[in-house]
Structure 1
């Protein structure tokens, strides 16, 4: 089981969009049962709230399920529970790395934009502030597609279980 956590600021726009998109792609790539995906925010403003209306509209447009998703805050236990923690921007990455130091865990922390080819920025723009959910969806789709390719490649290299 591979476990992925996406992290953004409030956990209502970018990271839940990535969570839903990766789950959808994993199901289509027959990885659904071997992949656990979640999302969290570095801030606590939206805990318990569903994804932002703009995120829900984008996911509805593409027929991607987000049922039951609620915002939560990243916590030290996440470094034990997840293999990959993927941050949507540099500020999120700094906050996550600071929290990881306190947890003393070996979870791998990545920047999401490292998954996007020819990226003009190292951050996924936050549509909560930009209003551009189309741009965010395009970047999230591309990055999640690359993440699926990497996960499949890693699985193909893994030795068979007895």
Structure 2
């Protein structure tokens, strides 16, 4: 099983959106036994708060329910537990690479290699965020499946 952690600033918009759409995607494809998706924040500003109402509103038509999810900050244990730690923007990546003096750099990836997934809390554009996340899903699933195959060879 591949364990993937999506990370953004507050864990109320982008990273829970990614968590939700990936969980729904693998369930639809019958692959949920191969993956585990979660999300975290790089800050504790929103700790314990629910997912942003506009994120929930964006996901509801897709039968994705994150009403029980609460913001949680990333911890050292997460770096040990997850195979992929995916930041939604460059600032997230910079923070993650500094964690534990860079010992987990090989697990850290930017969601879109050359372009931030903009924070809809700031931009107000939840549709754009949703589109950016869903546009790259197949690419990520292929990368995760490749990792599964490599682990089976070991």
TM over 0.5: yes
Partner of 2:42: 42
Partner of 2:142: 149
Partner of 1:113: 112
Deviations 1:87-120 (A, max 9, x none): 0000000111111426x34651000012xxxxxx
Check if 1:2 corresponds to 2:6: no
Deviations 1:112-154 (A, max 9, x none): 012xxxxxx5210100000000000001111223211222344
How has the CA–CA distance of structure 1 residues 133 and 77 changed in structure 2, closer, same or farther, with 3 Å as cutoff?
same
SS at match of 2:76: coil
SS at match of 1:36: strand
SS at match of 2:141: helix
Give the drift of 1:65: 2.6
Equivalence map 1:115-130=2 (5 Å)? 122-130=115-123
Instruction: Answer with 152-161 or 138-147: which moved more.
Output: 152-161
Give the drift of 1:67: 4.1
TM-score of the pair, normalised by structure 1: 0.86
SS at match of 1:128: helix
Gaps of 5+ in 2: none
Asked if the contact 1:14–1:126 (Cα under 8 Å) also holds between the matched residues in 2, the reply is yes
Q: Which has the higher helix share?
A: 2
Check if 1:138 corresponds to 2:131: yes
Instruction: Answer with 137-146 or 52-61: which moved more.
Output: 137-146
Give the drift of 1:45: 1.0
Check if 1:24 corresponds to 2:24: yes
User: What CA distance in whole angstroms lies between the structure 2 residues aligned with 1:100 and 1:28?
Assistant: 36
Aligned residues: 154
Aligned structure 1 segments of 4 or more residues deviating by more than 6 angstroms: none
Asked if the contact 2:48–2:71 (Cα under 8 Å) also holds between the matched residues in 1, the reply is yes
Q: Let me know the Cα RMSD of the aligned residues.
A: 1.9
SS at match of 2:5: strand
User: What CA distance in whole angstroms lies between the structure 2 residues aligned with 1:73 and 1:157?
Assistant: 30
SS at match of 1:5: strand
Gaps of 5+ in 1: 115-120
Asked if the contact 2:87–2:93 (Cα under 8 Å) also holds between the matched residues in 1, the reply is yes
